[in-house]
Amino acid sequence: MGFFDFFKGLFAKKHVRLGLALGSGGAKGAALIGAMKAFEEENIKFDLVAGTSIGSIVGGMVALGYTSDDIMNVIKQYGADDPKQLVFMKLKGESLDSLLDVVLGEKTFDDTVIPFCAVAADLNTGEEVDMKNGKLSTAMAASSAIPPVFRPVGRNNRKLVDGAFVNAVPADVVKKMGADVVVSINLTSVAMNSVGKATLDVMYKGHGIAEQNRLHQLKDYSDLIIDPDLAAFSTGDVTALNQMYSIGYAAAKDKMPEIKALLKKHGVKF
């Protein structure tokens, strides 16, 4: 390496790695897809993504290169007219893993175009489990397996359940993956105001798992948080998917000046 090449490399601008943390929220995940549409229109591209529950399903598809339209088409194909078949609905007697298998086949984390992590909880220990390898459909199903709606998912000798109980919006995970800037999308007011411990303890009574209450970390690890106003909807409200999609789109659009200012501060040009 020559003298000038050395200094050229020394002062070369570092690529700013933009990370995305997608939160849990059941059917409210339609807002995540709307937000992705807004990012696409503004040519905002993410280098890393992590998700919990429905955030892992949307995040995994984003990591595979799916567009927002692709993801909405999948939802319409596999259940918009029949809630029992919807990926993030209460499928009684049916395996979420098997449904995701139909959508994703044998794709693994190695097939993603950007690094991805799905967050679940160990049913027996209450520990957070960050999944970055193996079969995508299994990881997504584990991240979304909320008892008693879905059966725990077996993976690497663990019984895994919905990651929302340990890390509802995994901004810290994205940061640890190497993101310089973290944008988080929070689908519920829970993550900003802390969950009542008793509520989660009752839900998991008999399973021996306690709520970890790590949600306060959202602000600590996020450079910007998008909070779509979804208070009027429930996590199982599949009749309002289009409306929640639009709310997510608008919320991301409203934050776009802040996102661009944040990226420009880190040397990213538009």
**120 part of a folded domain:** yes
**9 part of a folded domain:** no
**95 part of a folded domain:** yes
**Maximum CA pair distance of the chain?**
67
Q: Which helix (H) or strand (E) holds 249?
A: helix 241-265
**192 part of a folded domain:** yes
Lowest mean pLDDT among 46-60, 112-126, 139-153, 249-263: 139-153
Using CA atoms, how far apart are residues 19 and 117, in angstroms rounded to an integer? 11
Give 187-231 as a DSSP string.
-STHHHH---HHHHHHHTTTTT------TTHHHHH-SEEE----T
State pLDDT tens for residues 84-121: 444 444 444 456 788 888 889 999 999 999 999 999 99
Domain containing 60 — which CATH number? 3.40.1090.10
**77 part of a folded domain:** yes
State pLDDT tens for residues 12-30: 456 889 999 999 998 899 9
Number of domains into which the chain is organized: 1
Parent domain of 63: 17-265
Residues 6+ apart with CB under 8 A from 233: 27, 28, 240, 243, 244
**270 part of a folded domain:** no
pTM: 0.85
Preceding peptide of 228 cis, ω within 30°? no
**6 part of a folded domain:** no
**50 part of a folded domain:** yes
Residues 6+ apart with CB under 8 A from 154: 160
